[in-house]
Chains A and B, each alone.
Chain A
Amino acid sequence: MNLKPWMTLAVAGFAGAAFAQDSSTLSIEGEAMVTETAAPAHMENVDTIYSGWRFRSTETQALETDDFDNPAFVFVDQGIDLFDKVDGTEGKACSSCHENVEDFAGLRTQLPRVQDGELVTMENLINDCRTERMGAEAWKWSKGPMTAMTALIGLQSRGMPMDVAIDGDAAPFWEKGKELYYTRVGQLDMSCSNCHEDNYGVMIRADHLSQGQINGFPTYRLKNAKLNSIHGRFKGCMKNIRATPFAEGGDEFKALELYLASRGTGLSVETPSVRN
């Protein structure tokens, strides 16, 4: 399916050497990514799911294909430094316990998940380590150190399919997330589904509505030239529909994150992705 009708017309004239990649197949550093697959059974209104990469312009798409060209890697580098940096009263760094960051391969595909009756995201896991094992202060949810670390840890799962558990302990959280997804809020009285399910692929002013997939987060946005967290993005959406955003790290956004992650089941983790 062509998700970018107008853009294709506009760009048809200059399929230059610099932008040689086919706009529907993504390969990062030579590794093929799944950007389109059959929707999971629980999605009643959508047959095929697409990564947000598919909705972007050729130039934006190209930025994600090479780790040097991808500006998010500046922050991944910062994450590598932070991983080895001793912080807190216990004199420990992340690497004091987690010798190889590569051991986190697969983690990103399974988050958020239920632990001891609570739904936890990667930010929760990182801050638990910081406050309980390192004796360090918790990082703010969407600030630089946290997004650098979630990018570094998420990167270890790049290319692996999203695969969150939605049954068992997770079921009530998932149901809550689904309810939020379809609930209209704000002055504009809109739900997530109004844009990202009913109208993906359609222009919203000069922009393309995506399916709102979260397989590439944290994502580097050209708009603000930094890494953006999942909950930070939710906040942005809510402000745009003139609703009062829920709190980052709060129960609502965690439940919504679980539900959205489940809507991307089978898409490759693209962390850290590049978007407009």
Chain B
Amino acid sequence: MKLTRRNLLILSSAGVAATAMGSLPAFASLTDDAIAELTGGAALGEGAITLTAPEIAENGNTVPIEVSAPGAVAITLFADGNPVPNVATFTFGPLSASRSASTRIRLATTQNVVAIAKMEDGSFQKASANVKVTIGGCGG
């Protein structure tokens, strides 16, 4: 592409838009705040934690979620589109085998579910999954 003034303008405005989209201002902040409070602002690693959630939930009332993070002392779940982002915290005791747990959660709308694991060495791991919540056609 030839670098003209017009093209530059298009490029830069697209860049601004992309940045704005990426940070998802209004909704994500509650969750981000909650995560910052949990981690004290520490860096979040990835890869040592697995979050299993359905891509599409037939009903937001009961969505099966599974988290697993070998070597974690605790895992906290957040839902960034719910009125209150906190969902649950699993703290693993001395007789816990795999550091994993499954539960069923409520999702008010299509959103990201975020899991933060606190590891034995004090570091943090993050995994997230987007869950589309469908609205029944009839559902009577």
Residues of A near any B CB (own CB < 8 A): 7, 10-11, 13-14, 16, 18, 56-60, 62-63, 71, 195, 203-207, 209, 221-225, 233, 235-237, 239-240, 276
B66 to chain A, nearest CB (A): 6
A209 with B137: CB separation less than 8 A: yes
Across the interface, which residues of B come within 8 angstroms of A235, CB to CB? 140
What 1/0 flags go to B128-140 for Cβ under 8 Å of A? Answer: 0000001111111
A82 to B7, CA, bound (A): 75
B41 contacts chain A at the CB level, 8 A cutoff: no
> Do B57 and A207 touch (CB < 8 A)?
no
Judge whether B64 is part of the interface by a CB distance below 8 angstroms.
yes
Task: Assess the A205–B135 pair: CB atoms within 8 A.
Answer: yes
Nearest CB in chain A to that of B56: its residue: A10
Interface, chain B (partner A; CB < 8 A): 52, 54-59, 61-64, 66, 102, 134-140
Of the candidates B102, B137, B140, the one having the most CB atoms from chain A within 10 angstroms of its own CB is B140
A residues near B140, Cβ cutoff 8 Å: 233, 235-237, 239-240
The complex places the Cα of A268 from the Cα of B56 at a distance, in Å, of 28
User: Is A204 in contact with B138, judged by CB distance below 8 angstroms?
Assistant: yes
Cβ contact within 8 Å between A56 and B52: no
Expressed in whole angstroms, the minimum distance between the Cβ of A260 and any Cβ of chain B is 14
Task: Known contacts A236-B140, A237-B140, A240-B138; decide if A223 and B55 are in contact (CB<8 Å).
Answer: no
The 8 Å CB contact of A206, one of B64, B102, B137, is B137
Query: Bound complex: CA of A205 vs CA of B61, how far in Å?
Result: 18
Complex partner residue of B136 from A13, A223, A233, A237, CB under 8 angstroms: A223
Further pairs besides A207-B137, A224-B61, A236-B139: 17, Cβ < 8 Å: A10-B55, A10-B56, A11-B54, A18-B66, A57-B56, A60-B58, A203-B137, A206-B135, A209-B137, A209-B138, A222-B59, A222-B61, A223-B139, A235-B140, A239-B140, A276-B136, A276-B139
- State whether A13 touches B59 (Cβ < 8 A): no
A18, A63, A224, A237: the one contacting B52 at CB < 8 Å is A18
In angstroms, Cα B52 to Cα A62, docked, is 15
Question: Are A276 and B55 in contact (CB-based, < 8 A)?
Answer: no
Q: Are A14 and B62 in contact (CB under 8 A)?
A: no
Flag if B57 contacts A205 (CB, 8 Å).
no
Cα A209 to Cα B139 with chains together (Å): 10
A222 contact from B58, B66, B102, Cβ within 8 A: B58
- Which chain B residues lie closer than 8 Å to A63 at the CB level? 64
B52→A59 contact, CB < 8 A: no
State A195–B52 Cα separation when bound (angstroms). Answer: 34
Measured CB to CB, the nearest residue on chain B to A245 is B140
Give the distance to chain A from B83, nearest Cβ to Cβ, in Å: 19
Q: How far is the CB of A20 from chain B (nearest CB, A)?
A: 13
Q: How far is the CA of A225 from the CA of B61 in the complex (A)?
A: 8
- A204–B137 touching, CB < 8 Å: yes
How far does the Cβ of A177 sit from chain B's closest Cβ, in whole Å?
Answer: 19
List the A side residues contacting B58 at CB < 8 Å: 56-57, 59-60, 207, 222, 276
Let me know if A14 and B55 touch, CB within 8 A: yes
Q: Is the CB of B61 within 8 A of A16?
A: no
A60, A206, A236: residue with the most chain B Cβ atoms closer than 10 Å: A206
A209–B138 CA distance with the chains assembled, in angstroms: 9
Whole-angstrom CA separation of A62 from B104 in the bound complex: 13
